Amino acid sequence: MAGLTAMEKKLAEYKCNTNEAIQLKLVRFPEDLEDENTTFNPEYSHQVFGDDEVAFGYKGLKILLYYIAGNLSTLFRIEYTSKVNEKFDCVEADDVESKIREIIPPGFCTNTDDFVSLLEKEVNFKPFGMLLHTYSVHNEEAGEDITYQIYKADMTCPGFREYHERLQTFLMWFIETASFIDVDDERWNYFLVFEKYNKDGATLFATVGYMTVYNYYVYPDKTRPRVSQMLILPPFQGEGHGAQLLETVHRYYMTSPTVLDITAEDPSENYVKLRDFVLVKLCQDLLCFSPGKLMQGFSQEMVMEAQQKLKINKQHTRRVYEILRLRATDMGDAEQSRSYRLDIKRRLIGPYKKKQRELAKMRRCLRPEELTNQLNQIDLNMQHEQLEESFQQLVSDYRRVLERLAQA
C-alpha cells in the first residue's frame, strides 16, 4: 500500500473478492437458510465480474444465491455493511445486482418469506424426462444408503425449459469457460442426476448435477454425440456421481445403431481422468482386451470391437489399451517393463518425429545462420527428457485409474 494517497487507501477497503462474496445454497429445510455448513462458494466469477473477480464499492459484501434443492427456485439478495457514496469524489459502486440479473432468469424471490413458501411446495417437484438408471451410495454420516436416479430430458418436458434456465447458472461459477447453450436447437440432449430424500414422510428429489450432449450429424446416416457441459454440484462431488452419469450416458447411446462414437468438447483434465475410468471399466471385459491379447500390442480388433459395441473412438480405445496393458504388465520384470515403455513411447514420439521431418526440410531450405537458430529450438537431448517425463506422467495417471477401478 506504500505510496497510495489516503483516498486510494480508503477506496481499497471497498474491494471485495466475488468468489468469497457469492454464497450459494441448495435448500431442503427452512433451517438450512441459517446453517453455514450448507453454504458453498464459486470456483470462478470472472465471467460475471471480470478477470480480477472483484466487486468495487462495498464492505462486507454478501451476494446470496439460494436455490430450493429440487426445482431450483431462487432467492437472490445482496447484503453489505457499507457502500461508497458521494463523499468519495463521485466514485460509484459496481452495479452488482445488474450483473447477477444478467445470468439468473426472472421470477426469483428477494425475501425469505416468499422463498420459504415455495419450499413448502417442493413436495410436488418430480424429475423431468425418462428414468435411465438408479444407484445408491453409502453415506457414512447418515449411516445409510442414499438412492440416486439419472434421467434423460428434453425441452418438450413441461417445465423443463424454466428449470434448465435456473440450473445452467451454476456453470458460470464452476466451469472456467462456460457459456449458455441454444436450447431451441433440438439436437441437444440433457441428462440429470437427482437424489431421493425423505421429508415429513414424503419422498422428494434434490438436483445433484447434469450433462448436456449435442448430436452432430455424420455423413451419410450417423450421429456423433459430443459431451458439451458436465457439472456435479459441489455438495455432491467426490461421491462417484460423475462416473455414474458418464457411464449411464455411454450406455444410453451404445444401444443406438445410428451412433458412430461419443466424444467431448474441449475436455478438462478432470474430465479426461473420469472418462479414462469409465471407458476402462466398460472395455475390460471385452475379449479383445484379455491379458494375452493386450501383451500382443494394440490391434485393429480392439478398435473395431470398442467402436461397434461401446461407441468408443480409436484415440480413446488406444488409451484404454495402454491402461489395461499396464495392469497386465509385471513392471518388475525387465523385459515386460521395457516392452511396455517402448510401446507407449512409440506413440508419444509422433510429434518429435514430425519435428525431425521439419528439420530435414530446413536443412535444404535455410541458410546456415537460420538453421542454427532452428536447431537451438530442437534440442534432441531435451526431447528425450520430455519424452521420458511424458511417459512417467502417463503411467502415474494410469495407475490412479487402475487403483480406482480396483476399488469400484
Helices (H), 227-268: 241-254
What is the C-alpha separation between 299 and 297, in angstroms, rounded?
6
Angular region, 325: left φ>0, alpha ψ -120 to 50, beta rest: alpha
What is the C-alpha separation between 14 and 56, in angstroms, rounded?
6
What is the C-alpha separation between 386 and 69, in angstroms, rounded?
47
Q: Which residues contact 371 (CB under 8 A, 6 or more apart)?
A: 362, 363
What secondary structure does DSSP assign to 63-114, as a single string?
EEEEEETTT--EEEEEE-SEE--TTTTT-----HHHHHHTTSPS--BSSHHH
Antiparallel, parallel or unpaired: β 222-232 and 263-264: parallel
Instruction: Please give the C-alpha separations between residue 2 and each of 6, 8, 11, in angstroms, as whole numbers.
Output: 11, 11, 14
102 catalytic, yes or no? no
Antiparallel, parallel or unpaired: β 39-40 and 22-27: antiparallel
Catalytic-role residue among 265, 358, 385, 389 = 265
Q: Which residues contact 392 (CB under 8 A, 6 or more apart)?
A: none
Helices (H), 255-285: 269-283
What is the three-class DSSP state of 267?
coil
Cα of first residue to Cα of last residue in the chain, in angstroms, is 53
Q: Which residues have a catalytic role annotated?
A: 265
